[in-house]
Amino acid sequence: MSVENNAKSDTRPVYKATTFQHTSKSNNKKRAWKSLKQIISAERTLPWPEDYVHYSSINAPPSFKPAEKFSDLSGLAAPYTDPQTRLRFANKEEYATLIGLPMDITAGYLALRGASSIVG
């Protein structure tokens, strides 16, 4: 099936002009696509009217509800936080494993829930 299809696509391209050559094909390599970040930041800096709604302004605002706390190890509701590693844990068994964890693993756990910044 696929071989057939491939053969077909080789002989008959989807566009009708079989001799079609993309105008920018020769310098396609040089043509650097702007990344999405660049496009968005360029869009943001445009002089928009005050109440114009554009891409960057439709982001959902921060929630009004406080985030709940879950254990990093098991995902269960965590009433406790280890002050040293700042990991959360649900019970003493988890704490026992937690204190034995190396630094990079605890950092990874924190990054997982977006709490790796020093301030937070």
Q: Interface residues with another protein (CB under 8 A)?
A: 1-2, 5, 8-9, 12-17, 20, 22, 33-36, 39, 43, 49-55, 58-68, 70, 73-77, 90, 105, 108-109, 112-115, 120
Whether 87 contacts 72, CB under 8 Å: yes
Q: Which amino acid is at 33?
A: W
Q: Which CB, 73 or 85, lies closer to another protein?
A: 73
Closest to 55 (Cα-Cα) out of 67, 42, 66: 42
Q: How far is the CB of 84 from another protein (least distance, A)?
A: 19
Whether 72 contacts 113, CB under 8 Å: yes
Q: Which CB, 76 or 99, lies closer to another protein?
A: 76
Q: How far is the CB of 33 from another protein (least distance, A)?
A: 7
What is the number of other CB atoms lying within 10 angstroms of the CB of residue 8? 10
Q: How far is the CB of 107 from another protein (least distance, A)?
A: 12
Residues 95, 110: Cα–Cα separation, whole Å: 15
